[in-house]
């Protein structure tokens, strides 16, 4: 290893990095203007849990394409304490060492580095993401003279439009989490923090405590000292052992909310509302129309949307109810169109062949199935509701840059 800096292939063996890129477990993104590449693990890597010496280090790693020098070294991927306790192959048993306890900040990772005479910011997955762009603007307006070139500063990006689960209000901040020198050695937070003054705040350090006590706090949704915290008030804790190994322990309520807010899409809301709206119909008929099973409906007690909204932030509740109002309005409008179309065809009701030919001539093909239901005196609302199913869509909140 070079004495003054670390290179990409000293940190990550060339063949192993190439294999990870070929397999789609790591992606390489080039800077739009500079000879830099950013390496980060992919969704496929996360889903398949392909964690190894390459994928865990590619979490916003930036290297110079010409010299191979690593110009930004992020924190390696680290895992939940429970994964270590379960003996996962990528999460061996935690070391028997003293550890520090930090607040787990719920934002997006900022990788702050110096290159070509300027301090720059990337997020975990991009040089030009919305989060990186926001952080760059904030950094450009600060006095960066105390920052040390060659050091990578890792911070959490907080601003209202980037809220994940925890509600930080109007706070706009870059919260220093850690720092690494150009040789790859971690710089103690207490040594890096003075250089960060004037840029943003520094992560909260909690008093040391036994691991069992910390895990009990997380499970009980409490902070050190015993104060209760909901999932919208705190994410949890990061443990940093003396050897540099990190692990995380999240509040149980945060985990629940995160799953809801980052996992529920418009189509999920459409399906849940449909189950409730058509609860008077046979479960099998409703399930077939909505693309689920009768068992799914029974498991949710027939009220999946109500259960979902019992304990969620106001913003999520408002988002769901806005979608529901939109679906109902679309159904109402479409039913009105069906009424008008059927009235125009009603004189042909006595001649099914003539009626069918007239239906085929309707300019809107989406109306055609409902005409025969009306002809037979059967309701059309379920068919109409199915027709307003949203396309596959993103969930209420995404967390790709965390």
Burial 160-194 (b: 16+ CB within 10 A, else e): eebbbbbbbeeeebbbbbbbbbbeeebbebeebbe
**Taking the model in full, what pTM does it have?**
0.82
Q: How many CB atoms within 10 Å of residue 126? A: 19
Which CATH number is associated with domain 74-256? Answer: 3.30.470.30
- In this structure, are residues 181 and 151 in contact, taking their beta carbons and an 8 Å threshold? yes
Helix H, strand E, coil C: the string for 90-157 is: CCCCCCCCCEEEEEECCCEEEEEEEECCEEEEEECCCCCCHHHHHHHHHHHCCCCCCCCCCCEEEEEE
Q: Report the pLDDT averaged over residues 66-75.
A: 96
Domain map (residue ranges) of the chain:
1-72, 74-256, 264-387
Query: What pLDDT, in 10s, does the model give residues 314-369?
Result: 788 889 999 999 999 999 999 999 999 999 999 999 999 999 999 999 998 889 98
Tokens 């804790």 correspond to what residue? Answer: 237
**Does residue 3 register a pLDDT over 60?**
no
- pLDDT confidence band for 1 (50 / 70 / 90): very low
pLDDT digits (tens, 9 = 90+) for 103-150: 999 999 999 999 999 999 999 999 999 999 999 999 999 999 999 999
- Among residues 46, 81, 84, the alpha carbon closest in space to that of 255 is found at 81
Q: Length of the chain, please? A: 402
pLDDT tens, residue by residue, 90-115: 999 999 999 999 999 999 999 999 99
């Amino acid at each position: 290893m070079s004495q003054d800096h670390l290179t990409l292939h000293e940190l990550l063996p060339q063949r192993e990095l190439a294999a990870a890129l070929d397999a789609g477990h790591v992606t390489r993104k080039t800077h739009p203007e500079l000879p830099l590449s950013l390496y980060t693990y992919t969704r496929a890597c996360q889903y398949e849990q392909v964690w190894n010496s390459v994928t865990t280090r590619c979490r916003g790693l930036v290297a110079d394409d010409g010299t191979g020098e690593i110009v930004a070294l992020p924190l390696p991927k680290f895992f939940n304490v429970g994964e270590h306790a379960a003996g996962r192959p990528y999460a061996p048993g935690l070391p028997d060492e003293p550890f520090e306890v930090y607040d787990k900040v719920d934002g997006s990772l900022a990788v702050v580095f110096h290159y070509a005479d300027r301090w720059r910011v990337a997020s975990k997955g991009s040089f030009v993401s919305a989060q990186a762009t926001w952080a760059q603007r904030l950094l450009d307006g600060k006095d960066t003279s105390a920052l040390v070139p060659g050091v990578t500063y890792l911070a959490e990006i907080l601003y209202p439009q980037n809220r994940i689960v925890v509600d930080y209000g109007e706070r706009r901040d870059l919260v220093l989490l850690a720092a690494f020198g150009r040789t790859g050695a971690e710089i103690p937070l207490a040594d890096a923090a003075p250089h960060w003054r004037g840029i943003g705040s520094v992560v909260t350090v909690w008093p040391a405590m036994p691991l069992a006590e910390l895990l009990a706090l997380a499970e009980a949704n409490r902070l050190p000292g015993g104060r209760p915290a909901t999932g919208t008030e705190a994410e949890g804790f990061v443990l940093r052992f003396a050897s540099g190994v990190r692990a995380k322990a999240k509040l149980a309520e945060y985990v629940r909310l995160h799953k809801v807010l980052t996992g529920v899409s418009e189509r999920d809301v459409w399906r849940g509302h449909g189950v409730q709206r058509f609860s008077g119909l046979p479960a099998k008929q409703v399930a077939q129309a909505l693309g689920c099973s009768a068992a799914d409906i029974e498991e949710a007690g027939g009220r999946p949307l109500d259960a979902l909204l019992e304990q969620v932030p106001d913003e999520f509740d408002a988002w769901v109810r806005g979608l529901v109002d939109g679906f109902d309005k679309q159904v109402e409008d479409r039913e009105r169109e069906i009424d008008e179309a059927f009235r125009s065809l009603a004189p042909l009701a006595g001649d099914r062949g003539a009626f069918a030919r007239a239906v085929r001539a309707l300019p809107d093909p989406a109306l055609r199935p409902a005409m025969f239901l009306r002809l037979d005196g059967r309701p059309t609302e379920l068919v109409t509701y199915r027709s307003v199913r949203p396309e596959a869509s993103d969930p209420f909140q995404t967390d790709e840059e965390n």
